[in-house]
Amino acid sequence: MNYTPARWLFGPNLMTIFGPVFRRGPRAPLTRERWELADGDFVDVDRMAGPADAPLFVALHGLEGSSSAHYIRGLLKQAQLQGWRGIALNFRGCSGDMNRLLRSYHSGETGDLDELIQRVRREADRIVIAGCSLGGNVLVKWLGERHTPPEIKAAVAISVPFDLAGCARTLDSPGFWRWVYRTRFLRTLKRKSLLKHAKFPEAFDAARVRKARTLYDFDDAVTAAVHGFKDAPDYYGQSSSARFVQNVRIPLLLLSARDDPFIPAGSIPTAVPANVTLEVHEKGGHLGFVESPFGFYAERRAIEFLRSNL
């Protein structure tokens, strides 16, 4: 497609950090709503108003992100320019308020997305979805493991960690930038989990959390223990979305970059069903795709693909 990477961002790491560090993100008018869940917990969603008969766009953020992430704001703004309505889901514990229950969100947790979709089906007969990074993994897994409701017309998944074990090994390996990414994720993950431990002291070993220096250590100590997996490898194996791609039955765009510093290029699927469009660029970083002279290709391309399949 028509994507020319920004020449002034040399290397995948600058492409990756540019948005989070330097971009505020476009503003679309949003209203926050708290939705009660069937298990007694809640999620916060940000709603973008629009005409009652307009398509509804659903956005899913990445690991330790939220609806305020620059790429979610960018997607919502692009959707607004189309005249669509929008909803950005904050996964449990990601809206700024801690969720009530011990369990949280993780890369393979599709139940909250399913509950959200079942709810919005009552208000829209044309729904399109975009998931970013972890949110993309959740989206692809959900599409592949369940019967897709007829209201879901198309989906886009950007910078998907198709192989969670491989991504953990990549981020846990030596190198300055990987240390930066790993430290950023672990800081908030550990803080949240220790707050949960204060409320649920028997749930997992807080000492292991404090000692965790890798994402694997954290997932083995907390993610697996809290969410019913035997250990981190079991969590990665059951939650990786690569094996679900073949079961997707609606139009789906998978947008990835070979130089993504989080995701090994070898984990990107090479054989996909006819209804799945695989778009892999040599450059783009992780959720970067800053284009020359200045713009954000992934957001533009996502909305273009979704519009073409309505």
End position of a domain, from candidates 215, 239, 263: 239
Does any domain span residue 63? yes
Is 120 inside a domain boundary?
Answer: yes
In a domain, 302, yes or no: yes
197 is known as an active-site residue: no
**Structural domain span for residue 86:** 12-162+241-308
User: Whole-prediction pTM value?
Assistant: 0.97
If asked whether residues 104 and 48 sit together in one domain, one would say yes
Residue of 66, 133, 193, 239 with catalytic role = 133
* Helix runs in 161-296, H state only: 164-172, 176-199, 206-211, 215-218, 224-227, 232-239
| Residue 260 designated active-site | yes
The count of domains in the chain is 2
* Per-residue pLDDT tens digits of the chain, which is 310 residues long: 699 999 999 999 999 999 999 998 888 999 999 999 999 999 999 999 999 999 999 999 999 999 999 999 999 999 999 999 999 999 999 999 999 999 999 999 999 999 999 999 999 999 999 999 999 999 999 999 999 999 999 999 999 999 999 999 999 999 999 999 999 999 999 999 999 999 999 999 999 999 999 999 999 999 999 999 999 999 999 999 999 999 999 999 999 999 999 999 999 999 999 999 999 999 999 999 999 888 999 999 999 999 999 9
Q: Is 243 helix (H, G, I), strand (E, B) or coil?
A: helix
pLDDT on residue 121: 96
286 counts as catalytic: yes
Task: Give the rounded distance of the alpha carbon of 172 from its chain centre.
Answer: 20
- Give domain status of residue 2, yes or no: no
For residue 3, is it within any domain? no
- Same-domain status, 144 and 233: no
Q: Do 49 and 144 reside in the same domain of the chain?
A: yes
Same domain, 178 and 290: no
Q: Indicate if 77 and 172 belong to the same structural domain.
A: no
Q: Which position among 46, 112, 259, 260 bears the catalytic label?
A: 260
Measure the CA angle with vertex 50, ends 20 and 61; round to 5°.
Answer: 25
pLDDT at 262: 98
**Residue 117: per-residue pLDDT:** 98
Instruction: Tell me, yes or no, whether 4 lies in a domain.
Output: no
